[in-house]
Structure 1
Amino acid sequence: MARIKVALNGGRHPGAHPALPCTPAELAVAAREAVAAGAEAVHLHPRDTGGRESLHAADVGAAVAAVRDACPATPVGVTTGLWITDGDAAARQRAVAGWAQLPPARRPDFASANVAEPGFTDLVATLRDLGVAVEAGVWSVQDATALSTASTVNGIDGVPRVLIEIMSPQTDPMAVLARLDELGVPGERLLHGEDELCWPMVALAGRLGLPTRIGLEDTLTAPDGAPVTGNAELVRHALSVWAAAG
C-alpha cells in the first residue's frame, strides 16, 4: 500500500505556483523530486502545448512517458475529469478510447474516474479494456451509494481503489467510509482533501492507517500556512503529518 501519492499539478493554471509542472519535462523533474522525497505513486493532469488540460492520446502519452522515464519503478496515473472536455461525456469517452493507439509503455498505470460525472460506467469499461486500473472518485455519501449501484446494476466489478475526496467542510469523511463499508464496496481506500481540508485529511488518513494524497493540485501551503517550494516539500510534510497522526 502506497502511503503517499503525489498529485503534481491538477487543474491549476500555469503560473499559479512557481514550481507548478505543466510540460512533460517539468512533470518528469517534479515527479523525480517527489518520489525521492517519499511519494510512492504519481498522479498528474496532462497538458497540451498551450498549457491546457488534455485527454488526447498524444498529450497523455508524452506526459506519462516522461514521468515513467524519470521514475521507472513508480506507478503513474492521470485524471479523466469531465471538465477537461467542457462537460461533454461523449467527447471524453472518445478521447480516452483514443489511448488505444498508445503503446503500453505510454499508457498510464491507473486513472481516476469520478462517480458523480455522467458516463462513469462507460469510462470504467473503456479504461479496463485499455489495461488501465481504475480509481473511483467518491465525493459524498451519495457517491458511495452510486458506486455500489454501478457495481450491482451496471455490472461493474470492484475497482482496485476508491478515492474519498473531501472538498467541502459539510462532507463527513467517516460517514463516506462507513457507507462504503456498509455496502461492501471493495477496493483500497485513499483519503485526501483539498485547500483548507488538505492537511486535516492527511492527518485523519494517518490516524486511520489509510493512504493519502498531497501535491500542488491540492494545496500550495504547508501545514502551518507557509508557502512551499514545490511538490517534494509537500510530500515531506505529508509523511510527517501522516506518521505523527498514526
Structure 2
Amino acid sequence: MFSVWIKACLNGGRPSPAPITPAELAGAALEAVEAGAAAVHVHPRDAAGRESLDGDDIGAAVTAIREACPGLPVGVSTGIWMTGGDPRRRADLVAGWQVRPDFASVNVEEPGFADLVRLLDRAGVGVEAGVWSPADVDALDGLPFLRILVEIIDVPAAEAVAAAEAILRRLPGAPLLHGENEACWPLIAHAGALGLPTRAGLEDTLTLPDGTPAADNAELLRQARTLWTDARRKHENTYG
C-alpha cells in the first residue's frame, strides 16, 4: 500500500450539513482521522454561523478538535473575506488569538499576505501559502512556510491538471495539491500520480467521483485515499 498524506478540509464556507459548531467539527475530525486524515483544516464560525477569525471562535473550534483528537494537527483559514477585505482588521484578530492552531492558511493573492505570514510565524503558527496561479509563486521568496498549497479554483475538470502543472513547474519540493468542485477529483488523482500530499472534504466537494452526493467528510476521505493510491500504483506500474 502506498502512503498518502491527506488533510481533511471539513467545512469551508459551506452551510449545514457541513459541520459548523465546535462539537460538530470535533466529531467530523474524529471520523476523518478514522478514515485516514493526517491533519484537519477548518473554518470556525461565530454564534450566528458566520465564518470567523475572532479569538473566541477560533479557540472554541481548535480546543474541541484537540480534545476529540489529541495530537492531530489542526489548521484554520485566514480568508480575508471574514473581515470584509480589511487586512489590518484581520491582522489584529489573528494577533489576539489566545488558543492558537497548529497552522493557518494564507492566500497569496490577498492584501496583507506577507505581513500576516510573518505575524503567524512569530506566534509559532505554521503557515500554508495558498497559491492560485503561477504569478503567485514570486511572492513566496524569503517567507517562512510550513507548506505550499497549490489550489485550483473555478477551473473545469478537463483543464484542472494543466492549470496545476503551470504552477507546479515553478515550485520546488512537494507542495500539497488540491482543487475545488469540478477540479477536486482530477487533482487528487494527479497528486497520487506525482506522489504529492493532497486534501479532501466538504470544503472542496459535495460529491463522490461518480457524481453522487457524499454522506460526509469521512466518505470523501476514504474515496480520496482510494483514488490517490490507485493513481500512484498506475504511475509506478507505467514508469517504474
TM-score, structure 2 as length reference: 0.90
Gaps of 5+ in 1: 182-186
Residue 40 of structure 1 and its aligned partner are, at CA, apart by 0.7
Question: Are 1:29 and 2:22 counterparts?
Answer: no
Spell out, residue by residue over 1:184-231, the C-alpha distance to the aligned partner (whole angstroms, 9 max, x if none): xxx641000000000000000000000001000000000000001100
Corresponding position of 2:238: none
The amino acid that maps onto 1:97 is A
Which residue of 165, 168, 175 maps to 1:177? 168
Structure 2 match to 1:228? 214
Instruction: Confirm or deny: 8 A CA contact 1:138 1:165 kept in the other structure.
Output: yes
Counterpart of 1:115? 108
Which secondary structure state, in structure 2, belongs to the residue aligned with residue 179 of structure 1? coil
SS at match of 2:104: strand
Aligned positions of 1:7-22 closer than 5 A: 7-12=9-14, 14-15=15-16, 18=17, 20-22=18-20
Deviates further, 139-148 or 198-207: 139-148
Aligned residue for 2:169, secondary structure, equals helix
Which residue matches 1:166?
Answer: 152
Matches within 5 A, 1:34-183: 34-99=32-97, 102=98, 106-148=99-141, 151=142, 156=143, 158-167=144-153, 168-169=155-156, 172-181=163-172
Residue 4 (1) aligns with residue 15 (2): no
Contact 1:2/1:40 (CA < 8 Å) preserved in 2? no
Report how far residue 43 of structure 1 moved. 0.2
Corresponding residue pairs, total: 225
CA deviation map 1:70-94 (0-9, x unaligned): 1112100000001111111111011
Give, in whole Å, the separation in 1 of the partners of 2:148 and 2:60: 26
CA–CA distance in 2 between the matches of 1:244 and 1:145? Answer: 34
Amino acid at match of 2:206: L
Q: AA paired with 1:141?
A: P
- What one-letter code is carried by the residue in structure 2 that aligns with 1:161? R
Matched residue of 2:175: which SS?
Answer: strand
Q: Distance in 1 between matches of 2:194 and 2:50?
A: 36
Question: Which SS does the other structure have where 2:225 is aligned?
Answer: helix
C-alpha distance 62-188 of structure 1, shift in aligned 2 (>3 A): farther
The runs of at least 4 aligned residues of structure 1 exceeding 3 Å deviation read none
Whole-Å Cα distance in 1 between the matches of residues 135 and 4 of structure 2? 27
Query: Are the equivalent residues in 2 in contact too, given 1:163–1:190 (CA < 8 A)?
Result: yes
Residue identity (%)? 60
CA contact (8 A) 1:2 1:41 kept: no
Distance 1:27 1:160 in 2: 23
Determine which of 188, 200, 206 is the counterpart of 1:202: 188
Rounded Cα–Cα distance in structure 1 between residues aligned with 2:70 and 2:169: 36
Q: Give the counterpart letter for 1:179 in structure 2.
A: R
The structure 2 residue matched to 1:242, chosen from 218, 224, 228, is 228
Unpaired runs of 5+ in structure 2?
A: 233-240
